[in-house]
């Protein structure tokens, strides 16, 4: 997608940068898979000012790769997807909890969270009341489960394919480059 808009190009470059960083992380495939699942889960939930804190706490408890979780959370939770995630979280959560909170209030909160610091965000969330927080978290958890499961199994599958390709390449090299024994 070529464009003359530098801001849009910048977003694409940043996304590619983080994707390449994510691909180069080495480690235990299961720890990486748990990290990606955690990053997907936290990235989708409507907890923007607390993503890093949640990743650190949950990642330590799950023994997940914290770097993979953080990078994947950044990739998933971006300016294009956050309004969609918040809307779906509000819509599903308000239906499940019976909340009477309107979308206008949720949009106001999103705008405030984008510009406010963490203490201002906590204060604002406290003032809005528990009804909105419960509705957003309920919906957010519901919509975060499928991407987390998909990220976990996709990561394990891709890791398996990568290891299989490495083993094949090693075997091919060993068959064609036999060491000479008598010299």
Count of alpha carbons within 13 angstroms of residue 121, beta-carbon side: 15
pLDDT at 1: 44
Query: Is residue 6 predicted with pLDDT exceeding 80?
Result: no
Structure tokens at 21: 């960083």
* Helices and strands, counts by H and E, the chain: 8, 0
CA–CA distance, 63 with 97 (Å, rounded to integer): 32
In terms of pLDDT, which residue wins out, 72 or 178? Answer: 72
180 pLDDT band (50/70/90 cuts)?
A: low
**Percent share of the chain, pLDDT over 90:** 41
In terms of pLDDT, which residue wins out, 83 or 148? Answer: 148
Residue range 118-164, pLDDT digits in tens: 777 777 777 777 788 899 899 999 999 999 999 999 999 988 888 88
182 pLDDT band (50/70/90 cuts)?
A: low
CA–CA distance, 92 with 84 (Å, rounded to integer): 12
CA–CA distance, 75 with 29 (Å, rounded to integer): 20
| Domain map (residue ranges) of the chain | 27-160
């Amino acid at each position: 997608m070529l464009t003359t808009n530098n801001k849009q190009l910048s977003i694409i470059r940043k996304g590619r940068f983080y994707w390449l960083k994510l691909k180069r992380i080495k480690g235990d495939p299961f720890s990486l898979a748990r990290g990606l699942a955690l990053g997907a889960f936290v990235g989708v939930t409507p907890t923007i000012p607390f993503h890093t804190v949640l990743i650190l706490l949950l990642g330590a408890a799950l023994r997940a790769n914290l770097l993979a979780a953080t990078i994947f959370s950044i990739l998933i939770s971006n300016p294009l997807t956050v309004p969609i995630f918040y809307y779906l979280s509000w819509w599903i959560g308000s239906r499940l909890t019976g909340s009477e909170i309107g979308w206008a209030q949720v949009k106001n909160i999103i705008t405030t969270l984008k510009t406010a610091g963490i203490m201002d965000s906590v204060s604002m969330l406290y003032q809005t009341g528990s009804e909105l927080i419960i509705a957003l978290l309920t919906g957010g958890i519901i919509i975060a489960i499928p991407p987390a499961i998909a990220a976990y199994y996709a990561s394990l599958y891709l890791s398996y394919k990568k290891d299989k390709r490495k083993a094949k390449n090693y075997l091919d090299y060993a068959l064609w480059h036999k060491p000479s024994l008598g010299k």
